[in-house]
Structure 1
Amino acid sequence: MPLHKYTVGQSVEFVPGKQDGNVPRGTYTILRLLPNDAADREYRVRNLRDGHERVVRESQLRGTPPLPRP
């Protein structure tokens, strides 16, 4: 079983596809790694702007660059 690419607490960019309707793209935080047997891992995420939680596939996510340190 492949491992999840992202970790709990990590910020990621959600890129919705055509089938995702009006789900807003933007920065989300990984809340939970969901178990499944498919090649495309699933995650429970929360939108930083509106606070809504969603289940998304790993293929819909892009890692965000780390913030620069002062």
Structure 2
Amino acid sequence: MRIFLWTLYIFRAAALLGAAAFSVYGFIAAGEPGTSGYWRLAYAMVFVLCLGLLWVLARSFQAFRRA
């Protein structure tokens, strides 16, 4: 059971890191002329959301290790 939970943590962390990297790329790409500024705001909000979810995942991982 523990190996299954470790695998879930790894895949969740990889998915969140990938989403954060994509949002950084989108933030940079949204700086092109003719693109609405709301796209940059949306990508920045997704990045902040990914960081928050990574923090929650790290906290649950610490609680899992203590148990």
* Shorter-chain TM-score tier: under 0.3
Q: Which has the higher strand share?
A: 1
Q: Which has the higher helix share?
A: 2
TM-score, with structure 2 as normaliser: 0.22
TM-score, with structure 1 as normaliser: 0.22
Name which one, 1 or 2, has greater alpha-carbon Rg. Answer: 2
